[in-house]
Chains A and B, each alone.
Chain A
Amino acid sequence: MASLRRFSPLPGFGLAMGYTLVYLAIIVVIPLTAVGAKTFTLGWDAFWAAVSSPRVVASYQLSFGASLLAAGINVVFGLIFAWVLVRYRFPGKGLVDSLVDLPFALPTAVAGIALATIYSQNGPVGKLLEPLGVEIAYTPKGVLLALVFIGLPFVVRTVQPVLADLEKEVEEAAAGLGASRWQTFCKIILPHIAPALLTGFAMAFARAVGEYGSVIFIAGNVPMVSEITPLMIITKLEQYDYAGATAVASVMLIISFVLLLIINGLQGWMQNRYARGA
């Protein structure tokens, strides 16, 4: 270990590092490799059958589609939240700022039953929407709604500090050069916060794809219509189809991983183009 690191006068590296690695291996690394190992015990045909059955494919479409859409919605509203929190004063601002993290702090099952109740036919919002012919609970729309709920803080909290960081002078310079407020937003502010927006999008998306608790109550879990992929894993587990569950899980892991790699790459490229410091 000593040869891998630069000298430091501080004590405790061996102990801290050793403990970190052992704990990491026991809790995270070894159990996660079990997914890979279990997947390989399945032959290719069995694997393919498990991950490509129509019901599972429908769940991918819903999970990834709704997650992308939800993350996109979060980018828009998260930006508005971050904007008003950083720049405006309005009544209730302190409360809004504190409660933006609610989806992060509220146990997902609690959020799930609350959302299901609100948007069911008898719920306070569902009741209003029913005469309009809009059904949210127990449809894919309900899934989308729950995913928007849980993803919001990720965008707000990544964009907020970056927006606060943008020097006022830069915007003043743009105004002084004759730019309208809208031009300043599009040409100066948006490029500045784009990497943060993308990060927030990626985080909201990653969370949404894996989300379970807040979704299943409102989803209705209708096969081929409103089943999310994590539910498919649970369903297979309940049928003691461990291999099938693991196969679906590995597909989920791989797709999210690839998507995150792409987004990370994009973000790195954006940041490298104009390294900070101006």
Chain B
Amino acid sequence: MSASIALHAGSLERQETASTREPAWVRVVLVSVALTFFSVFLLLPLGTVFAEGLRKGWGAYFDAMVNPDAWSAIKLTLLVAVIAVPLNLVFGLAASWAIAKFEFRGKRVLITLIDLPFSVSPVISGLIYVLMFGAQGWFGPWFYEHDIKIIFAVPGIVLATIFVTFPFVARELIPLMEAQGSEEEEAAVVLGASGWQVFRYTTLPNIKWGLLYGVILCNARAMGEFGAVSVVSGHIRGQTNTMPLHVEILYNEYNYAAAFAVASLLAVLAIITLGLKTLVERQTRRQLQDIDTPSGE
């Protein structure tokens, strides 16, 4: 079980017929309930972020962004994502190749372990690195002697981010590659392709949308992670504050407009993520339909 949301390529809609249609009032009630819940729980918070951010006008809004502390938070957030996402991407490819294309004992255990970070509280995700590298931790004293700072410094933030985003790419690719089987790859091997060529010309084109989706989700979480990063960061302004942490500081200082201004950047990131997700899902669905309906009957 994983706490991620898988990509769904199949059609998620269904045509109703006379015999399976609910009475009109039932339909109206259900749609109304859904739309009300949607407005109150999803639209309202999203709208609030932008409304509050702009409460003091565009001037204050941009001031909040160009503030040096905000800038350094933005840069740190991007840096963390630039390190964490590619690392997890490579891992995701390696893990899904090994798991989806080969049969071996202990596969289920391995998948469970890969999923593990999803079921661990973000706070605990941060805690484990404090236990490893903190002043009282296993390796802490050694690093301290060598004057390398991990906890309350950027490396700790990167590590915690890698942990919480660890399963995203693998989780998308494993089911996808399992569903596609190995026939195409085997055909490529028979035709004399090298290992790299097999991957480049048969596997990659088949998984590119799923891969993109995994990367999008991984990136969104990497930039937005709060709990785990909060534990290892130390909250040093201008140095170890990521954007979400900066939002927290501003909010706790009652500087609401600035907090929401920075938050709105993250909200835009979320909206872009969801937009890309919708796009990727549409692409995969199309790809799948092409496979399902070969020309002729």
Contact = CB atoms under 8 A, between A and B. Distances in A.
- The answer to A–B direct touch (Cβ < 8 A) is yes
Interface of A: 1, 4-6, 8-13, 15-17, 19-20, 23-24, 27-32, 34-35, 37-38, 77, 80-81, 83-88, 90, 92, 94, 96-115, 117-118, 123-125, 148-149, 152-154, 157, 160-161, 164-165, 168, 171-172, 175-176, 181, 184, 199, 202-203, 206-207, 209-213, 217, 230, 233-234, 237, 242, 245-246, 249, 252-253, 256-257, 260, 264
**What 8 pairs across the A-B complex have the smallest Cβ distances?**
A210-B121, A107-B224, A5-B104, A212-B227, A213-B226, A11-B195, A31-B128, A230-B123
A104 B120 CA distance: 16
A110 B8 contact: no
Contacts of B45: 106, 111, 114-115, 118, 149
18 contacts: A13-B101, A17-B94, A20-B98, A81-B37, A84-B34, A87-B16, A100-B38, A105-B270, A107-B223, A108-B244, A117-B256, A118-B45, A149-B45, A164-B12, A184-B20, A217-B251, A237-B127, A249-B123
B141 to A, nearest CB: 14
Nearest to B185: A10
B42 A99 contact: yes
Interface stretch (B204-212, B271-279, B284-292): B271-279
Interface string B79-104: 00000000000110111011101111
A206 B121 CA distance: 9
Name the interface size band of chain B.
35 or more
Contacts of A203: 1-3
A8 to B, nearest CB: 5
B61 interface: no
B134 to A, nearest CB: 7
A115 to B, nearest CB: 6
A120 B118 CA distance: 31
A273 to B, nearest CB: 19
Contact of B267 (A106, A118, A164, A230): A106
Contacts of A5: 102-105
A113 B251 contact: yes
Nearest to A100: B42
Nearest to A243: B136
Given A35-B124, A86-B12, A164-B13, A98 B162 contact: no
A164 B227 CA distance: 35
B189 interface: yes
A24 B114 contact: yes
Determine the main DSSP class of A at the interface with B: helix
Contact of B132 (A30, A94, A97): A30
A34 B131 contact: yes
A202 B119 CA distance: 10
A121 to B, nearest CB: 14
Given A5-B105, A175-B20, A212 B121 contact: yes
Nearest to B7: A157
A108 B226 contact: yes
Given A8-B182, A16-B94, A211 B121 contact: yes
Given A212-B227, A212-B230, 19 more contacts: A4-B104, A6-B104, A13-B102, A20-B95, A31-B163, A37-B131, A37-B138, A77-B37, A98-B275, A99-B38, A101-B5, A102-B274, A107-B226, A113-B248, A114-B260, A153-B5, A184-B20, A210-B122, A249-B127
B8 A160 contact: yes
Given A152-B41, A210-B124, A172 B34 contact: no
A101 B221 CA distance: 13
B220 A10 contact: no
A165 B291 CA distance: 19
A38 B131 contact: yes
